[in-house]
């Protein structure tokens, strides 16, 4: 029985779209000159407003995803009559979804609202929307297998438009990123099974939780077969390692802890410690 509840919008008069909840934005402008810092002074609030005011998905509209964004400015160059900022950026849901981008370029005019336009490509709003859609896609995948397909397609469309724009730097890598995430069926299966397992455990359905944990492990193995030791799959395991150990211990599953040692060798010692502490 499905325990992850699909939240459907029943109130069509509201303008409050809650895909993103607590939004934290950190700006590092140490490498900018004082006059350049003044230009980006309002960027933090503009980004927060962009994510909170955009409707990302018209079905899953009450997700309230935590969002952590860090932008590190590297400098500014002049291109025609525009000032172009270069930076690196980190996007995370504070859990098992994390993206680092080291090749970002955009122009920014303080006092001009950021908004998502599905037709006209803007380098900053397009960049923010790309990662917004990736995080929404990964989250919806925890409710429904491949439920994030629409969001991945929107992200891919943004990446394709970015790669053919005047600000194409970094967009080819973003096309590769969204393609790899979309086709990583193993991770998508593992993500869904893991969150169902947690819900079933809370409901004291131990048999159902164990079945889903086995599906999660199968998904990780499939991801490795299809894509090698994919970073996103490994980060999923890293972020959930302690919870996996706790759940397998509570389910009295030493053999699955041994399997995790092989699937997640970077944290082999954590699983081995759990085995020694609880089953030997």
Ranking 9-23, 65-79, 211-225 by mean pLDDT, the lowest is 9-23
Both 52 and 149 in one domain: the answer is: yes
User: Is 142 in the same domain as 262?
Assistant: no
Domain count, the chain: 2
Domain boundary among 163, 183, 203: 183
User: Residue 87: which domain range?
Assistant: 20-183
Q: Show which of 183, 206, 226 is a domain's final residue.
A: 183
Separation of alpha carbons 145 and 141, rounded Å: 6
Domain co-membership, 26 together with 93: yes
Could you tell me the pLDDT band of residue 13, with boundaries at 50, 70 and 90?
very low
**pLDDT for residue 28:** 97
Domain membership of residue 264 (yes or no) is yes
The pLDDT value recorded for residue 78 is 84
Q: Is residue 170 part of a domain?
A: yes
Question: Cα–Cα distance between 21 and 258 in angstroms, integer?
Answer: 37
116 and 94 together in one domain: yes
60/197 same-domain check: no
pLDDT digits (tens, 9 = 90+) for 213-246: 999 999 999 999 999 999 999 999 999 999 999 9
Convert the pLDDT of each residue in 167-214 to its tens digit. Answer: 999 999 999 999 999 999 999 999 999 999 999 999 999 999 999 999
Of 168, 183, 198, which residue constitutes the final position of a domain? 183
Q: Is the pLDDT of residue 111 over 80?
A: no
Distance CA 96, CA 192 (A): 12
Predicted local confidence at residue 17, as pLDDT: 54
Residue 130 tokens read as 């790309």
SS3 (DSSP) at 106: strand
């Amino acid at each position: 029985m499905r325990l992850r509840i699909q939240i459907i919008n029943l109130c069509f008069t509201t303008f409050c779209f809650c895909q993103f909840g607590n939004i934290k934005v950190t700006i590092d402008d140490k490498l900018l000159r004082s006059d350049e810092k003044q230009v980006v002074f309002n960027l933090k609030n503009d980004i927060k407003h962009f994510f909170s005011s955009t409707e990302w998905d018209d079905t899953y509209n009450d997700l309230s995803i935590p969002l952590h964004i860090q932008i590190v400015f590297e400098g500014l160059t002049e291109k025609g009559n525009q000032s172009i900022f270069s930076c690196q950026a980190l996007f995370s849901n504070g859990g098992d979804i994390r993206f680092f981008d080291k090749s970002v370029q955009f122009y920014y005019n303080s006092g001009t609202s950021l908004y998502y336009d599905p037709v006209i490509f803007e380098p900053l709003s397009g960049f923010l929307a790309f990662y917004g859609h990736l995080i929404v896609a990964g989250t919806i995948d925890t409710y429904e297998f491949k439920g994030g397909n629409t969001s991945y397609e929107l992200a891919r469309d943004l990446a394709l438009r970015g790669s053919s724009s005047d600000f194409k730097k970094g967009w080819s890598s973003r096309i590769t990123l969204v393609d790899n995430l979309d086709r990583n069926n193993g991770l998508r299966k593992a993500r869904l099974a893991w969150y169902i397992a947690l819900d079933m455990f809370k409901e004291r359905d131990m048999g159902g939780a164990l079945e889903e944990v086995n599906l999660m492990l199968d998904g990780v193995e499939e991801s490795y077969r299809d894509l090698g030791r994919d970073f996103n799959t490994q980060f999923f395991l890293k972020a959930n390692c302690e919870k996996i150990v706790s759940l397998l211990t509570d389910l009295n599953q030493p053999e699955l802890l041994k399997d995790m040692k092989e699937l997640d060798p970077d944290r082999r010692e954590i699983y081995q410690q759990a085995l020694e502490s609880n089953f030997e």
